[in-house]
Amino acid sequence: MSDTCFVVQAGSALSGSTTVPGDKSISHRVVMFGALAQGVTQVRGWLAAGDTEASLSSIQALGVQVDRHSTNELTVHGGTLQAPSKPLDLVNAGTGIRLLAGIMAGQPFASTLDGSSQLRRRPMTRIITPLEKMGANIHSADGYAPLNIQPAELRGIRYDMPMASAQVKSAVLLAGLFARGATIVVQPGPARDHTERMLYSMGADIAAEGNTAVLTPNGSLNPMDLTVPGDFSSAAFLLVAAVLISGSDVTLTGVNLNQTRTGLLDALLAMGADITVTETGLEAGEPVGMLRARHSVLKGTEVGGDDIVVRMIDEFPAFMVAALFAEGESVVRDAQELRVKETDRIAVMATELLKLGANITETEDGFRIFGPQTLTGAAVDSHDDHRVAMSLTVAGLIAGGETVVMDAKCAGDSFPGFAETMIALGANLGVQAPCAAQ
């Protein structure tokens, strides 16, 4: 039985101006890093969503006082962490468990990090390997959660990451805060750099140049006072929908435009999308601005190589929908990471879009699509993956007839109010909870 479903019809143009919820990556980090600071961190625009709430509860279970002034406004009273009385539950949050593991590795008490059955299927060896090199004492279920972390003395290392992952980079740098000596992380491509920016703003001795970050522990971290910018990864669904739906003209304000995140923008522009970008300033050390997207005729494109793939890693489900309606061939390579996200996003998206009549050729590290294709509404399933739920909803806004996106509640893992935002822009979308269309 589906908890919630979105019932979507084609036909209406999207128009108007809106904001998107706070950046998920930054929202995880601000509660974790704020907990480590000496003093009081003030946060506005915090993303109150499934994934980030799991990080917040874990931080509270570590004895940190957090005052909740409103849904999106928090005060984090940083200081010393205390041993948790039970396993920390990160639910579905990969960023939550991997970053927290880096912090826990350096604490003088034991902890266990766990999550949902979905999180227990995601690989943890990628963080366990470097953390063990630093001296961490971690027991896992054969490389998967639960992770039991015992106290250990850590030493700084140089780690050449086998993959460009911000979660791995961050886990190592966070452990580095508690290590003897400097920690150097070298990434093969530009993974998102929110950890480096935030630690720097807190007074950490961290230098990032090119693909290398060097952190030298220098005592305590200063607290922060920040407003979390809007999440480009949430904006992505609105951008793709506006570009694909005839007559649309949508403006998004206050969006994080950090270039380590905006690979999809580059891909859409290369496809001929009519999107204008206006940078308006800095928020929390991140460039923010306005995006205006109008309906455009797209042509197929090729996406491959660490330089772009990592910068749009969360946006491939939405990109897949855009590629279906572009003229000619679109090819994605070097994106095998998609297979170990919340779901295997290549297989799940290809399977679900097939139900709408799409023809997508899966490859080991990506996919090929020849467009434009004609989709017909049908019942599709999110597989409890937020980005799949939202991408299928966008596909449903273009497919002929009615599309029912089952198990759509997970959209709230990163974009609370996704359906309401779409409806406000003019989308023909209904929310059923519980889902009547089974």
Catalytic residues: 314
- Residue closer to ligand S3P, measured from CB, 72 or 260: 260
Q: Which residue among 111, 116, 167, 256 contacts ligand S3P (CB under 6 A)? A: 167
- Residue closer to ligand S3P, measured from CB, 97 or 392: 97
Q: Which residue among 89, 196, 314, 352 contacts ligand S3P (CB under 6 A)? A: 314
Strands (E), 284-348: 286-294, 302-303, 328-332
- Residue closer to ligand S3P, measured from CB, 165 or 343: 165
The distance of closest approach from Cβ of residue 31 to ligand S3P in the complex, given in angstroms and rounded to an integer, is: 13
Question: With contact defined as beta carbons under 8 Å apart, do 229 and 256 qualify?
Answer: yes
Question: With contact defined as beta carbons under 8 Å apart, do 51 and 231 qualify?
Answer: no
CA–CA–CA angle 150, 155, 161 (5° rounding): 95
User: Which listed range, 60-68, 164-172, 219-227, 415-423, lies at the site for ligand S3P (CB under 6 A)?
Assistant: 164-172
The distance of closest approach from Cβ of residue 126 to ligand S3P in the complex, given in angstroms and rounded to an integer, is: 8
Q: Which residue among 192, 311, 345, 386 contacts ligand S3P (CB under 6 A)? A: 192
The distance of closest approach from Cβ of residue 165 to ligand S3P in the complex, given in angstroms and rounded to an integer, is: 3
Q: Which residue among 55, 111, 116, 170 contacts ligand S3P (CB under 6 A)? A: 170
Within 13 Å and on the Cβ side, how many CA atoms surround 345? 28
- Please give the residues from 361 up to 420 whose contact with ligand S3P meets the rule CB under 6 A: none
User: Is 52 among the residues that bind ligand S3P (CB under 6 A)?
Assistant: no
Q: Which residue among 95, 256, 301, 382 contacts ligand S3P (CB under 6 A)? A: 95
- Residue closer to ligand S3P, measured from CB, 2 or 95: 95
Q: Which residue among 31, 36, 145, 166 contacts ligand S3P (CB under 6 A)? A: 166
- 3-class SS at 51? helix
Total residues interacting with ligand S3P, rule: CB under 6 A = 10
The distance of closest approach from Cβ of residue 119 to ligand S3P in the complex, given in angstroms and rounded to an integer, is: 13
- 3-class SS at 395? helix
* Binding letters toward ligand S3P, positions 193-232, x by CB under 6 A: ----------------------------------------
- Residue closer to ligand S3P, measured from CB, 25 or 393: 25
Scan for tokens 């998920």, then name that residue. Answer: 24
- 3-class SS at 64? coil
- DSSP-derived secondary structure letter, 369: E
Q: Which residue among 72, 92, 165, 260 contacts ligand S3P (CB under 6 A)? A: 165
CA distance 272 to 427: 23
User: Which listed range, 14-22, 42-50, 55-63, 159-167, lies at the site for ligand S3P (CB under 6 A)?
Assistant: 159-167
Cβ atoms within 10 Å of 200's Cβ, excluding its own: 17
What residue type is 194 in one-letter code?
H
Cβ atoms within 10 Å of 52's Cβ, excluding its own: 29
The distance of closest approach from Cβ of residue 317 to ligand S3P in the complex, given in angstroms and rounded to an integer, is: 12
Phi and psi at residue 316, to the nearest 5° = -65, -35
Question: With contact defined as beta carbons under 8 Å apart, do 213 and 204 qualify?
Answer: no
- Residue closer to ligand S3P, measured from CB, 72 or 234: 234
CA distance 373 to 101: 44
The distance of closest approach from Cβ of residue 78 to ligand S3P in the complex, given in angstroms and rounded to an integer, is: 20
Within 13 Å and on the Cβ side, how many CA atoms surround 287? 12
Percentages (nearest 5) of helix, strand, coil residues in the chain: 35, 30, 35
User: Is 55 among the residues that bind ligand S3P (CB under 6 A)?
Assistant: no
CA distance 8 to 135: 52
- Which residue, 20, 25, 58, 59, is CA-closest to 41? 59
Scan for tokens 């700084």, then name that residue. Answer: 156
The distance of closest approach from Cβ of residue 166 to ligand S3P in the complex, given in angstroms and rounded to an integer, is: 3
Binding stretches for ligand S3P (CB under 6 A): 25, 95, 165-167, 170, 192, 313-314, 337
